[in-house]
A and B are shown apart, each in its own frame.
Chain A
Amino acid sequence: MNLPVSTSSPAGLLLAGLFGLIFGILLHKGRVTDYNVIVNLFRFRDFTVLKIMLTAILVGGIGVALMMSGGLLEGWHIKEMNVLGVVLGGVLFGIGMVLYGYCPGTGVAAIATGSVHAMVGGLGMIVGGVIYALTFAWAKGSILSVGALGKLRLADVTGIPDLVWWIILVPASLLVFRFLNRRERAAG
């Protein structure tokens, strides 16, 4: 079979189902379908989300970097760095995540675990998408165009190569993990 498989082929759609199924199981077993776990991250009382995300970034990132340098991948999938859009979007996202208690992916998964308020917030997300589409012309002209720098990677803007970034990120994350584990043990 030639890789990558087309996402519109029957095999691609089958893989979408398999990957989604695994993702949903992982989100639930990671307890990030629990409102309390998500909100308590921002209150420094539960670091489950941070542990999962940092581990996923390290494992995923190093694997993808190796596949890229081995010529197995067609290219990066980088999102545009629109300074105002990304910062303002991130700020709104943080507010929304604490009020909703979920992010879009964990919200979808939480609905399926029975959470009624995740469902109501899910309807809110659908409405949010409608509002975005209705205000898209304004957002594009007044927000997304401010500081539109294009698809940048850390190596492009800092001149520091990927390898060095990983040499920094791995031990830095391990120190964070050690700190969190000690703190949790001390708290009992």
Chain B
Amino acid sequence: MESSPCCQTGPSALLKRKSWNPYAVGVGIGVLSWLAFLVVNKPIGMSTEISKFSGWFASLFVGMERVTANGYWSGTKPSFGYETIFLLMTAVGALLSSKLSGTFSFEKVPAVWSAHHGPGVAKRMITAFLGGIIILYGARLAGGCTSGHGISGTLQLAVSSWVFFISMFASGIVTAALTFRNKTTRL
């Protein structure tokens, strides 16, 4: 029987696959959470670090002194550390994985978007930009994102995280129902 590239094993063959079984990925993230708690006592999170990037960005215009005088950034000081490295290496991991599996591409307009809103690049970019503003503002109000609340918080059975998880899902379902209404497409 001919051996297909999808079914070879070993680390490099595994990394060359386009995707893994979602349950296996879930187990992987769960085990990574054990290590995060046990080894460094720091749950996985992402949105707080992005707010620090916001601080660095603001400091280009007003200087770091005025940034750290802000009520929010005085408590979440933009400083290079554990979370910065975690974020940057998350990007490196995704880059490595997408390059090895041949899925790296400069995507401008994804298929499902295009089927409902057309192939226009500007419309997609403006929506992504606005969505980015809204998602991070929401994450800051709630105190976390899909990583910090959605996985790290829910797995500790935190009330705030389960309430966040349910609110986020309900709101996402309504938003998707309102914004994807083209019934003539299969996508």
Contact = CB atoms under 8 A, between A and B. Distances in A.
Given A52-B26, A57-B30, A29 B54 contact: no
Given A81-B163, A136-B70, A30 B34 contact: no
Most buried by A among B36, B98, B170: B98
B85 A143 contact: no
Nearest to B30: A59
Interface string A49-68: 00111111111110110010
Contacts of B94: 24-25, 27-28, 33, 108-110, 112-113
A89 B140 contact: yes
Interface string B124-164: 11011111111111111111111111111111111111111
Contacts of B152: 60, 77
A125 B113 CA distance: 20
Contacts of B33: 56, 59-60, 63-64
B81 A25 contact: no
A126 B54 contact: yes
A76 B92 CA distance: 29
B98 to A, nearest CB: 4
B93 A51 contact: no
Contact of B160 (A20, A23, A79, A114): A79
Contacts of A105: 46, 90, 145-147
A130 B91 contact: no
B176 A89 contact: no
Interface string B47-82: 100110111011000000001001111000000011
Contacts of A34: 110
Given A67-B37, A126-B54, A128-B133, A93 B29 contact: no
A61 B156 contact: yes
B25 interface: yes
B176 A39 contact: yes
Contacts of A179: none
Interface string A154-168: 111100001001000
Interface residues of B, number: 125
Nearest to B44: A23
Contacts of B103: 28, 113
B177 to A, nearest CB: 8
B110 A35 contact: yes
A16 B85 contact: yes
A73 B145 contact: no
A63 B31 contact: yes
Given A26-B25, A129-B53, A165-B157, A96 B104 contact: no
Given A52-B25, A98-B179, A100-B127, 17 more contacts: A7-B41, A24-B96, A53-B151, A56-B33, A60-B31, A63-B30, A89-B141, A90-B167, A92-B138, A96-B132, A104-B135, A104-B145, A109-B90, A118-B128, A128-B132, A139-B140, A154-B157
14 contacts: A51-B23, A55-B23, A60-B33, A61-B156, A73-B38, A82-B143, A93-B145, A93-B168, A98-B175, A109-B90, A129-B57, A133-B72, A136-B70, A136-B72
List 5 A-B pairs, minimum CB-CB distance, nearest first.
A24-B93, A124-B132, A55-B26, A129-B54, A89-B142
